[in-house]
Chain A
Amino acid sequence: MPDLQYSIFEGLIILFGVLSLIPVFRNWKESKNRMYIAIFVYNIGVIGYSFINVLTYILEIDTNVYLVGGLRFGYILGYILFTIQFEFMLYLRGLTKLYTLPFILSFYLMIGNILNTSVMPFIIYAVIVSYTPAYFLLRDGKKKRNGLAFGMGLFFLTWGIGQIIPVEIVMEIFRVIAIFMFFLGTRGFYEKYIFVNQEEEQKIMGTWISKFVVKE
């Protein structure tokens, strides 16, 4: 029964992920900005991760099973996602020279997991690759009033918080919230309701109130 419950969560992640892909693709077609391609690829990575998770539930594969030494199947999936996440962060900051770092780091950590059963390196890596892009995206998104960037920042932040809570159901809920926040970002929610232009708002309010005053 818990498998069905998790499959529903993963299904929601896939649904919001796919729904987010459409506006991102449309934006890319309009502007030809390569950043949208990066977001698109990252989003596909997230959907792929959830899809594999659903498959593991259907095929009843235990992701907590140790494959070699202390390396679990779930860790491999996690490292793949972190590599994409880290790569995305480097792309955002324009650090071309460091593009090979995520692959090598993930590889060493995976080998480390074979030799050592400690979960700490995995958690530290998850925190670094989740919170760092979250900080940059939230900061830049807020400064430039870019809802997509802000949404991605919230996504990384919520996803990161979920990763460090070792209770699977809580982790899943956080992941669903994260993808939903990203989905809102792609739909222009934050521009509309959070980054409201104060001056414009005052002007509208002023006109609105003055209309009432005139009427009275």
Chain B
Amino acid sequence: MVEDILLESLRQAGYLLSTILIPFATLIVGRKVLKEKKSTGRYNIVRLLTFGIFLCFALMSFLEFLVELSLSPLLNELFGFNIESINLYSILIGTMVSLGLCLVFYANRWEPLYFVSFFIFGGMVIFYYLTGFDAWLETYIQIAGIISLIFIYFTSFRVRDNGALGLGIFFTLAFSTLVIEISYVSQIMIISYNVFILILSLGYFRIFKEEVIS
């Protein structure tokens, strides 16, 4: 009984933190993007992509919170909560992993591959609405997620970029919550990635003192 209450409290705390902290972190990153645009006159694509990933995550956390509150059966149906078929949840996760891949390709200057993830994922969504076929969605999300994570770590060490490394750690924590089946560990992970995203967005995460590229 006590265990259940503790677990439920952790779960609620996790949802609440995600709903507040992730949009907050998104706002901070968004502000940085606009500030840089003002000072340099052009958008920093890496920051813009990071902002896109954060925005998707924030939107997902907010919708997840609304679904938990069971406000509308239609929203629950649209949200879906799985990556096996096309729904709001899988579209947001798919966009996140696609942006992650795009970030990797951009950081490595692999120009012909810049938009490949969007072509694949966008094609998959359009294809679903035309034919109803979405059997490859889960595989795409898993493969693209793993590839983008590996390459984000690889790129972050290669270019000694704190932002990329932070993003890698954040996503490792976030994705591990989907894999770990022990509820307590999973809930603690959720709380920890929320705290981490706040540290990252405020700019306190500085493993590399000297970066090769900013």
Contact = CB atoms under 8 A, between A and B. Distances in A.
| Category for how many chain A residues contact B | 10 to 19
A41 to B, nearest CB: 16
A109 B120 CA distance: 12
Contacts of A98: 115
Contact of A112 (B113, B120, B127): B127
A96 B112 contact: yes
A53 to B, nearest CB: 29
Given A96-B111, A111-B127, A112-B127, A104 B119 contact: yes
B114 interface: yes
A108 B127 contact: yes
Contacts of A104: 116, 119-120, 123
Interface in A90-134: 96-101, 104-105, 108, 111-112, 115-116
Contact of B112 (A100, A111, A112): A100
A99 B131 contact: no
Contacts of A108: 123, 127
Contact of B114 (A97, A112, A115, A116): A97
A101 B112 CA distance: 9
A80 to B, nearest CB: 18
Interface in B79-122: 111-116, 119-120
A116 B133 CA distance: 11
Nearest to A112: B131
Nearest to B117: A100
B111 A100 contact: no
A116 B131 contact: yes
B130 A112 contact: yes
Contacts of A100: 112-113, 115-116, 119
Interface residues of B, number: 13
Nearest to B136: A111
Given A112-B130, A112-B131, A115-B133, A101 B111 contact: no
B96 to A, nearest CB: 20
B92 to A, nearest CB: 21
A108 B133 CA distance: 11
B119 A101 contact: yes
A72 to B, nearest CB: 18
B114 to A, nearest CB: 5
A74 to B, nearest CB: 21
Contact of B123 (A97, A105, A115): A105
Residue from B111, B112, B120 whose CB has the most chain A CB atoms within 10 Å: B112
B115 to A, nearest CB: 6
Nearest to B112: A99
Contacts of B115: 97-98, 100-101
A112 to B, nearest CB: 6
A104 B125 CA distance: 13
A107 B127 CA distance: 11
Residue from A96, A97, A116 whose CB has the most chain B CB atoms within 10 Å: A97
A112 B114 CA distance: 25
B140 to A, nearest CB: 12
A108 B128 CA distance: 11
B127 to A, nearest CB: 6
Contacts of B123: 104-105, 108
A108 B114 CA distance: 19
Interface string A18-42: 0000000000000000000000000
Interface of B: 111-116, 119-120, 123, 127, 130-131, 133
8 contacts: A97-B114, A97-B115, A98-B115, A100-B113, A100-B119, A104-B123, A111-B127, A112-B131
